[in-house]
Amino acid sequence: MDENYSIRLLAPIGEVQGPELQSSNDAGVVSTLGTIGDYAGIPSIEHSSAITYVSSCLPDRHLIYVSPQISNLGFVPEDLLDRPDLRLKQVHEEDFGRFDQALRRSCNAAEKFICHYRLYDIHGKVHWFHDEASVVCDEAGAPLFVKGIMFDITDKKRMEAELVDHRYCLERNVEQRTRQLTKHIAMLESCNASLCDQLSSARLEIAAMKQQLDATGSNNDCSIERSFS
């Protein structure tokens, strides 16, 4: 038996209307009327760059609403609504497994969904998004649909990458300079040891020469004494 779940829809002129999402016990949300601007926590942010959306839960997870801000990726809402699988296809292949696992876990456990992942825009350019959503359940606790908001964090990710590169270059320069200083110190220590050895040898040579000189002076004194006797 079908059940109807009423939600609030925001008309383009800003007035709140009350169409319905049609739902069935075995199929989840199957259709929607109008455009969703505010539902149980999704703020009306028509003048923000954030993208709000509503999607069905498992197994299909198709979009049933997406805000006009999807145009930031070059799409219009109808592109994704007419092709419900398009959103999933736009997820970067390296991030899809993590994204899919997190979304499935949220739908199965009716828990909050939070994920950072990359999306391709209509031209194939990569954008980073922070996606945060909640699962709406019926009175029995069964998940009905997901309502969420996506923030483009591409600039933040770019700055983070630049900081990582800068830190890597700095660490590499410090490492190279440390090796140079260590080599220089070892050279100085080696030179110092050599100088110490040379100084020690010179001292021994001077001492030997002094002994020889003392011995020569003593012999001369004896010769002089004999000559006067």
Assign residue 28 a region (left: φ > 0; alpha: ψ between -120 and 50; beta: otherwise).
left
For 180-209, the three-class secondary structure string (H helix, E strand, C coil) is: HHHHHHHHHHHHHHHHHHHHHHHHHHHHHH
- Token code pair at residue 145: 């649909």
Predicted TM-score (pTM) of this structure: 0.59
Read off the pLDDT of residues 67-92 as tens digits, 9 standing for 90 and up. 999 999 999 999 999 987 888 899 99
Enter the tokens of residue 156.
């933040």
Query: How does pLDDT run across 127-163, given as a tens digit for each residue?
Result: 999 999 999 998 888 888 999 999 999 999 999 989 8
Token pair listed for 174 = 């410090």
Q: What is the dihedral of CA 163, 71, 11, 129, to 10 degrees?
A: -30
Could you give the CA distance from residue 151 to residue 143 in angstroms, rounded to a whole number? Answer: 24
